Amino acid sequence: MTPEPTDRELAEPDLTDPATYRRTDYLALWRAVRRHRPIARLDSPRYGPFWSVTTHDLACQVLEDPVRFTSTRGMRLGADEAAVGAAAGRMLVVADGAEHARLRAAHAPWFRSNEVAAMRDALRRRLETELEPMVTGEPVEIVQRLASAVPTWVVGRMLGTDDADTARLAALVRTAFAEETDPAERTSRRAASAHVFGYFADLLESRRADPRADVVSALAHEPDPERRLTDEEILLSCDGLVNGGLGTSRHAVSGTLLAFARHPDQWLRLRRDASLLPSAVEEVLRWASPPMHLMRTATREVELGGARIGAGDRVVLWIPSCNRDESVFAEPDAFRIDRRPNRHLSLGAGPHYCVGASVGRMEVRVLLQVLLARVDRIELRAEPVRSASTFLHGLDRLEVVLLPIQRPDREVTV
Element (H, E) at 111: helix 97-111
pLDDT at residue number 3: 58
DSSP symbol at 287: H
- In 3-state terms, the chain is what percent helix, strand and coil (to 5)? 50, 15, 35
Strand bridging mode 385-386 / 395-397: antiparallel
- For residues 238 and 203, the answer to whether their CB atoms sit within 8 Å is yes
How far is CA 15 from each of CA 77, 110, 282, 284, 319, rounded to the nearest angstrom? 11, 37, 26, 24, 13
DSSP symbol at 87: H
For residue 93, report the phi and psi dihedrals to the nearest 5 degrees: -75, -15
- For residue 13, cis peptide bond before it (omega within 30 degrees of 0): yes
- CATH number for the 7-404 domain, one of 1.20.1250.20, 3.30.70.1230, 3.40.50.1000, 1.10.630.10? 1.10.630.10
Closest by CA position to 17, among listed 55, 52, 45: 45
CA pair distance 189, 173, nearest whole angstrom: 9
- For residues 278 and 369, the answer to whether their CB atoms sit within 8 Å is no
pLDDT at residue number 190: 85
Domain-by-domain residue ranges, the chain?
7-404
pLDDT in tens, the chain (414 residues): 455 566 665 666 788 999 999 987 899 999 999 999 999 999 999 999 999 999 999 999 999 999 999 999 999 999 889 999 999 999 999 999 999 999 999 999 999 999 999 999 999 999 999 999 999 999 999 999 999 999 999 999 999 999 999 999 999 988 887 776 666 677 888 889 899 999 999 999 999 999 999 999 999 999 999 899 999 999 999 999 998 889 899 999 999 999 999 999 999 999 999 999 999 999 999 999 999 999 999 999 999 999 999 999 999 999 999 999 999 999 999 999 999 999 999 999 999 999 999 999 999 999 999 999 999 999 999 999 999 999 999 999 999 999 999 875 555 555
Q: Any idea of the CA torsion for 128, 134, 136, 137, to the nearest 10 degrees?
A: -130
- Please state the three-class secondary structure of 186-229 as a single string: HHHHHHHHHHHHHHHHHHHHHHHHCCCCCHHHHHHCCCCCCCCC
CA pair distance 346, 323, nearest whole angstrom: 8
CA pair distance 348, 325, nearest whole angstrom: 15
Question: Which residues, listed in sequence order, are joined to residue 34 by a DSSP beta bridge?
Answer: none
